[in-house]
Chain A
Amino acid sequence: MRKTTKHIIHGVFGDEEPLMEACKKLRAQGIRIKDVYSPMPIHGLDNLIGLPRTWMAITAFIYGLTGLGLATLMMWYMMIHDWPNDIGGKPNWAYFYNIPAFIPISFESTVFCAAHGMALTYLLRCWLVPGAKAKNPDPRTTDDKFLILLDIADHQVAQAEAVLKACHAEEINHKGTYEVEPKYTLEESYQ
């Protein structure tokens, strides 16, 4: 069984427009882009390199609902169920009749849980934790360089290099190769 050699290539750019152009052309030629590193967010890049839409906002919504639920449960238990009080002629006999007084804390708890839940999910999902190793493959990418990270098979290397060159990449760095066991494709199994 033949092993395939995979190449790790860094295409370094001095600006975001040529980088986006290169991404578009690489994808058009069927070359997968592993990741892009940039000093700032680049609008429209997600679609170009085929990133799925992030779930962060949806997690915030779920955490928010959880916060609202917890706050409601807490206030119902403490004010209505466990120790109902008659405060200033406003008895706490039923949650429904006291809702107006409970709105501020319901709101604050919703925001509290949504914000912190989402922030924690974001940090853990990106593994941004104290002591984590720097994730950028080249330290210049947080300053003023833009980098396309390719992790491609032998036969695509020449093609990818040509695209990077045509798009005015400042550097094309080969960062080594590694070998992988090929997966059987349908075609191969018939041969």
Chain B
Amino acid sequence: MHAESEIRIPLILGNKTYRQISDDIIAPIEGKAAKTWYILTTISAVCFLWGIGCLAYTIGVGIGSWGSNNGVDWAWDITNFVWWIGIGHAGTLISAVLLLFRQKWRMAINRSAEAMTIFAVLCAAIFVTLHTGRPWLDYMLFPLPNQFGSLWPNFNSPLLWDVFAVTTYATVSIVFWYIGLIPDFGMIRDRVIKPWQKKFYGLLSFGWGGSARHWSRFEEVSLVLAGLSTPLVFSVHSIVSFDFATSVVPGWHTTIFPPYFVSGAVFSGFAMVLTLMLVVRKVYKLESYLTIKHIEYMNIVIIVTGSIVGVAYLTELFVAWYSGVEWEQYAFLNRATGPLAWSYWAMMTCNVISPQLFWFKKIRTSVVATFILSIVVNIGMWFERFVIIVPTLCRTYLPSTWNTYTPSFIDIGIFVGTIGMFSTFFLLFSRYFPVIAQAELKTILKSSGEAQKKAAASHHH
């Protein structure tokens, strides 16, 4: 244990002991779920089922049932894919990058942020598998020997890089998450009384015992996984941005895309983590662990990444003008003043202006304001991807291919379905899994617990 300055605000409020941390984490698992939990789960499950219906319809009829058309061949599908995968990035950022930077405040939020990552990546996977048009042939994306002779996928293509990046990202995130969960499942296994729960958590805990040897390996494995995930998370969204940046479509063909996409991803991901955390905090009464200080720290990350995104928007405009390329200039003029200008201005307002409100301490420490703004940011980031894709493709080089776009009922249905799936999974997770990494939290109790800090302070004087 190392001492920490008294000035630092405690991260665990109230008079907590190791036992109480266990009690608080296990409470939602052992207790009965609140009525709101059942209501929310039902609504989410209905949306999820609706999405499955639309998905089945798409597979049966083909992607002609979507609003995509000859010019606008990427539309809601890729918008949603990029949106979901971007949301996923915050989970990895919190658990990996903040671990490398030894940020203790990460410990209360990393577990649910990682869960969010996994569910968001699953949602994203639905769109990439479907957008190929014939999802039953998606195995052709992988470098498998096939019946058509030695025809291999094209390793020069960013679309194939994406297959590798997203596969690696999804599987590594799941492993990272589960390895962290094992000790907590062990604690639950040893605490629960109901026989089915003992059996269920016993199976999930993989026989964890918490011996010194295992902890020492656990710590090293976590650190190395964090070290591997950090460049991984940056590579994933960089590669997603290459899907656009390596094409010769005006408005897409820009070198600013990788950093701009990565910061946008972190921005939207933190917003989504905040939305979820504020609900979890309230429903499961975890205010002692997810304190106002945690919310403030996350809002600061939102200001930083939101401002980077804002600067990127302006840089794009400047470079389009400065390049002297009229196609490029027109692409941006069209985004801001063309037929879909409303989406551009929605994006600008939600992403550039709204996060700046967090400069006011009152706003960034207010639960209600944070909740509203986090949703606003998520809407804004959805529009960002929409603006990049749809208005650009509506007006490309040949005026004869100019087109408009309206989403079909099926497009909207699948999107609503993924939101339903995401919420259903998250609600199930928060009810049956430990929402806070309690073992990790116990390591900072002595240095960052409120009661412990006070005791240490009075001891010194």
Contact = CB atoms under 8 A, between A and B. Distances in A.
Interface in B160-209: 160-161, 164-165, 167-168, 171-172, 175-176, 179, 182-183, 186-187, 189-191, 202-209
Interface residues of A, number: 67
Given A122-B221, A129-B207, A45 B228 contact: no
Contacts of B187: 39, 142-143
Contacts of A85: 154
A30 interface: no
A157 interface: no
Interface in B355-382: none
A41 B219 contact: yes
* The 3 residue pairs across chains A and B that have the minimum distance between CB atoms: A135-B209, A132-B207, A144-B18
Interface in B438-454: 439-440, 442-443
Contacts of A75: 155
B203 A130 contact: yes
Interface stretch (A3-11, A104-112, A163-171): A104-112
Interface of B: 1, 17-19, 22, 143, 150-158, 160-161, 164-165, 167-168, 171-172, 175-176, 179, 182-183, 186-187, 189-191, 202-221, 223-225, 228-229, 231-232, 235, 239, 242, 439-440, 442-443
A153 interface: no
A186 to B, nearest CB: 31
A57 B207 contact: no
A119 B22 contact: no
B134 to A, nearest CB: 22
B213 A104 contact: no
Contacts, number: 208
A122 B179 contact: yes
B152 A79 contact: yes
Interface of A: 16-17, 35-43, 45-46, 49, 51, 54, 56-57, 60, 64, 74-75, 78-79, 82-83, 85, 87-88, 90, 92, 98, 101-102, 104-105, 107-109, 111-112, 114-116, 118-119, 122-123, 125-137, 139-144
Contacts of A118: 221, 224-225
Given A83-B151, A116-B171, A128 B156 contact: no
A60 B227 CA distance: 11
Most chain B CB atoms below 10 A, which of A87, A122, A133: A122
